[in-house]
């Protein structure tokens, strides 16, 4: 009980520091230096609009300047988006059919096939150097790079262990076929890094309807691309009240969510290669 109260107090203090930092003058953003456009893409829905603004502010005040920051909102929720979010300088608001968590990447891949696309979540704080770290990895040759990742555990060659048995939130830089990106802390995808099936909503809505990280892992591995994890163990700072509706618990309980998606993708594609028991 005391430990839980102490963790809650620390979390609120971290939130307070993050919000105070958003009130400081924005840094002078520098060009990203990539050979093509850089687009940051995310989505949100009405239940998250109350905590969305500070996430967007943290993305819009990075020290690397993207060519676009796009917020995708489902057509049914667009009228509920607050004016103080619509008016944020540098934010590009677009509406599309709601593809749940896939709305943060699929419409942007379709609209900007030649761009480096950085995905972000709508419920967390992104520190000032967040985008620079991903861009640096891409400039150094990474086709897919992330701040937070797990390491896939294998039961046998070509057969992954249950998701809860993987090495979660690995604590050092890594690269290879068993590096499994987690989108919450941001991922950068180079043009062409993902298998063409990534855009097939008839597949991902059936095979992995709530497990976009699993789907995207399969899509870059089927394309022969290994993910690069940068930095150490990653701490997530979520805004209070943003987790009332959250897929994470459903996806990580044994036998549900991610494990169902993995089984479905194994049936469709087999193991995407490279990982050994």
- pLDDT > 70: what percent of the chain? 90
CATH 3.90.550.10 assigned to domain 2-269? The reply is yes
CA atoms within 13 A on the CB side of 1: 0
Q: Is the predicted pLDDT of residue 181 greater than 50, yes or no?
A: yes
Polymer length in residues for the chain: 277
Domain residue ranges in the chain: 2-269
- pLDDT, one tens digit per residue, over 229-248 is 999 998 898 987 645 444 44
Q: Give residue 7's pLDDT.
A: 63
Coil, strand or helix: which one is 119?
A: strand
**Per-residue pLDDT averaged across 10-39, rounded?**
88
CA angle, 243 then 244 then 248, to 5°: 50
193: left (phi over 0), alpha (psi -120 to 50) or beta: alpha
Query: Are the C-beta atoms of 80 and 46 separated by less than 8 Å?
Result: yes
- pLDDT, one tens digit per residue, over 122-156 is 999 999 999 999 999 999 999 999 999 999 999 99
C-alpha distances out from residue 77 to 44, 54, 94, 246, Å: 9, 19, 12, 18
Rounded Cα distance, 178 and 92, in Å: 35
The pTM assigned to this predicted structure is 0.92
DSSP state of 109: H
C-alpha distances out from residue 146 to 75, 168, 170, 225, 230, Å: 29, 14, 12, 13, 6
Greatest pairwise CA separation for the chain in angstroms: 53
């Amino acid at each position: 009980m005391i430990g839980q109260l102490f963790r809650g107090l620390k979390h609120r203090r971290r939130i307070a520091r993050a919000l105070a930092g958003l009130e400081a003058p924005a840094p002078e953003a520098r060009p990203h230096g990539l050979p093509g456009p850089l687009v940051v893409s995310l989505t949100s829905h009405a239940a998250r609009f109350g905590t969305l603004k500070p996430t967007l502010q943290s993305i819009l005040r990075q020290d690397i300047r993207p060519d676009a920051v796009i917020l995708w909102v489902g057509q049914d929720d667009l009228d509920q988006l607050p004016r103080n979010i619509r008016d944020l300088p540098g934010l590009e608001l677009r509406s599309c059919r709601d593809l749940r968590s896939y709305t943060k990447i699929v419409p942007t891949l379709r609209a900007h096939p030649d761009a480096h696309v950085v995905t972000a979540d709508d419920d967390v704080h992104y520190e000032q150097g967040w985008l620079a770290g991903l861009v640096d990895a891409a400039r150094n040759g990474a086709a897919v790079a992330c701040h937070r990742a797990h390491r896939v555990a294998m039961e046998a060659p070509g057969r992954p262990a249950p998701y809860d048995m993987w090495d979660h939130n690995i604590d050092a830089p890594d690269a290879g076929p068993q590096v499994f990106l987690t989108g919450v802390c941001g991922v950068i995808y180079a043009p062409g890094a993902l298998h063409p099936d990534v855009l097939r909503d008839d597949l991902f809505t059936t095979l992995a309807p709530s497990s976009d990280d699993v789907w995207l892992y399969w899509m870059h591995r089927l394309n022969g691309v290994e993910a690069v994890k940068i930095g150490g163990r990653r701490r997530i700072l979520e805004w209070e009240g943003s987790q009332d509706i959250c897929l994470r618990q459903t996806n990580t309980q044994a036998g549900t969510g991610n494990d169902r998606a993995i089984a479905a993708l194994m049936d469709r594609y087999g193991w995407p290669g490279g990982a050994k028991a």
